[in-house]
Structure 1
Amino acid sequence: MTQYDNIENAIRKGVWFLYDHQYPNGEFCCYICPDDEMKMCVTHSNVFPTSLIANSIFDLRYIPEVNEILDKAAAFLQYQAMRGGTWNNFTILNPLFPICPPDVDNTACAAIVLQKLGKDFEDNKTLILANRNDEGLFYTWFTWRTRYNPIKTYWLLSLRALKHPIDTCMFWRKTEATRYDIDAVVNANVLFYLGLNKNTAPVLKYMLDIIEKGKESDCDLWYRNPFTIYYFFSRNYKAGCAELEPAAQTIKERILLTAKADHSLGESILDTALGIISLINCGDNSTTLDKAVAHLVAHQNRSGAWQRWGVYYGGPKKLQTYGSEEMTTGFCLEALALYRFRLLEIAKKNNPSN
């Protein structure tokens, strides 16, 4: 069996796992627990995993089951949409939904998926652009602040908190969030959604500064793993933000330095997948990349899934860790899909007549 066949076989097994494990409503499983390895966990109904997985498998639509997965995921996201084309971290049926405000990260990522699929959703770009600080960076939350905002929808979303005033107050006291949070991945995802323009240009400087100063482990309340920062930053570079070139080169170097003797990257199979994606996005062609892909394929479970690991957190203290086999598998499939495309491009160069 050729390398291409091994990749294709792993992709199809992973797709079948997701196809078999997607809930009837289109949602994907999310667990919550207190550690990265997620050994003791419980299910937690969240919107974000479905957005992440759908985006990761978008380029595998040549497989019929992927299109079914995406259609169900899109229907789920459309159903979960809130006023103004915004999304909450928690699903409508989650007890935390009424007290948690919608956030820019979930909104951008859900909108990206629906936009790619050509599905309808309420235009939210004006609302997002009105949710910035004086430096032009995007706030994480759509919530009340002591500053003027001209958008009526913003105030209507903020007034939602008055339905549960005590619980909402406790939300801000008990979580590590604040109304004025500015988070790196949130801003990177807005840039990915809106594209580079005069309104999003400040995000570029912000991202470049984080990588230049080595702050990727502490630049976002919810993403505490540098590999997730590399992933979300690098996809902006691949999308055409050439100004991120200095950061892309540094990201490559830092990922390659984490390579282990067994050819894994970082501390987990999730890190390996995110590392592969980031390296490809940043234009890496090293043998370390090839070996990491082989490691990824070799560690696929018989079910077609890859081991669950914490993807994002409930704050810097990591009191809550969110992840699942489905989320890890989505990232692993994205890594293999990118590498598969790379193999096809190499084959075309070597055989231009085909």
Structure 2
Amino acid sequence: MSDLVSLSLRTAALEAVDHGLDSLQESVESNGAWPLEWHRSTGPAESKTPPFLTGLGMLALEVCDHCQARGILSRSRDFLVSSMKYPGLWCWPPHPLDLDSTAVCALALGPHSHPWMFFGRSIPRILSCRDGRGRFPLWTGRLGPFGIPDDNNYDPVINANVIAYLGDRAETRPAQRWIESLITENRVSDATSTWYAPMDLYYFVSRAIRTGEPAFEGLRAILPARIVSASPGNALRVAQAVSALCVLSDTTHVDFLRRCTEKLIDMQQPDGGWPSCEFTRAPGGVRIHLSRALTTANCIEALTRLTRPCNAHPGD
């Protein structure tokens, strides 16, 4: 996509990537855990290090072929393996096992990272969680946090992540149709419960199109217009918009991509990182999750994708 931006803007973007990696190198812990900030009604609370956040960061950073990025990914991979539960499931401690963490971490590790992943040991368990409409919930069991039933947890972003992991198969097609109807009918905001913004869904659906082909193939034509019309504001959503358009190989919104690139460069902070942004919330909205490291990784992803030649690893 590098031919869509000027040489000066491309140079500035590459410099921003290098500076961002310096910041990320300092932020990610030596054991591979990515730092999280979270807020509740009483104010900021202590940082946690859920595997889910590490998996999200890895998925964003894997596009960057830089020695610093490879080092961060290596120790992050070790952290995910150490936190995996039999038969290839993850949780957000201290909560029960959940499908969003499982799908994201499994995608980040890849099938060759562990025998459980290679043989798909977790897949029957994941498929058994579907509701009568074929949708995937957040929790792997009926009970959510605190041991109480939680039925209101069918977020389309969670379903997109599970589909990205499982791919296009008969068992995932009802969930695909549900997400497709939400996007085509502009009903995304009414359906999200754990994730924040429609842009989150567009970003992760674009990933599912790439990793779960031919999943969501019917959305390929409509997604670019939805992404542009979402008018992303903060650094995380601007980065998601750029990455999604690049993954979709969209060249019809060049001015939008240029404006987003300029905005990301302007938003970068003096130490190379980007500001913390909300990405998910606890069920019931009792807690908001933010991560400066995740925002930084997503901005690095966006600028990396935009500055690569159009023929470099298509769709990666």
The TM-score, its normalising length taken from structure 1, stands at 0.77
Render the CA deviation track for 1:85-126: whole Å, top value 9, x for unaligned. Answer: 110012xxxxxx1xx21001101111111116x311523112
How far does residue 42 in structure 1 lie from its aligned partner after superposition? 3.5
1:120 maps to amino acid:
H
Structure 1 unaligned segments of length 5 or more: list them: 91-96, 146-160, 162-166, 259-264, 348-354
Alignment counterpart, residue 114 of structure 2, candidates 99, 120, 123 = 120
Superposition RMSD in Å? 2.5
Aligned to 1:77: 80
Of Structure 1 and Structure 2, which has the larger fraction of its residues in strand?
A: 2
CA drift of 1:34 comes to 4.0
Larger Rg: 1
Paired letter, 2:126: I
Change (3 A) 1:64 1:88: same
2:124 partner amino acid: T
Mapped partners of 2:171, 2:210: distance in 1 = 20
Aligned to 2:139: 141
| Cα deviation 1:213-245 (Å, max 9, x = unaligned) | 212113232012111111111222234645635
- Amino acid across the alignment from 1:74: R
Native 8 Å contact 1:138 1:186 kept in 2: yes
Answer whether contact 1:89 1:103 (CA < 8 A) is retained. Answer: yes
What does the per-residue CA deviation read over 1:52-104, in whole Å, with 9 as the maximum and x for residues that have no partner?
A: 001111011x31111111111111111111122110012xxxxxx1xx21001
> C-alpha distance in 2, partners of 1:199/1:207?
14
Matched, 1:47 2:47: no
**Secondary structure at 1:112 match in 2:** helix
User: Which residue, 310, 330, 333 being the options, matches 2:300?
Assistant: 333
Summarize the alignment of residues 1-354 of structure 1 with structure 2, pairs less than 5 Å apart.
2-34=8-40, 40=44, 42-60=46-64, 62-90=65-93, 97=94, 100-115=95-110, 118-120=112-114, 122=116, 123-144=121-142, 168-169=146-147, 172=148, 178-179=150-151, 181-239=153-211, 241=213, 244-258=216-230, 265-285=231-251, 286=253, 287-315=255-283, 318-341=285-308, 344-345=309-310
Q: Which structure is richer in relative contact order (CA contacts within 8 A, separation 6 or more)? A: 2
- 8 Å contact 1:78–1:121 — kept in the other structure? no
Aligned to 1:150: none
Percent identity of equivalent pairs: 23
Shift, 1:187, TM fit = 1.2
Q: State the secondary structure of the residue aligned to 1:199.
A: helix
Q: Name structure 2 gaps, 5 residues minimum.
A: 1-6
1:316-336 deviations in whole A, cap 9, x for unaligned? 5x3311111101111111111
Give me the TM-score of the superposition, normalised by structure 2.
0.86
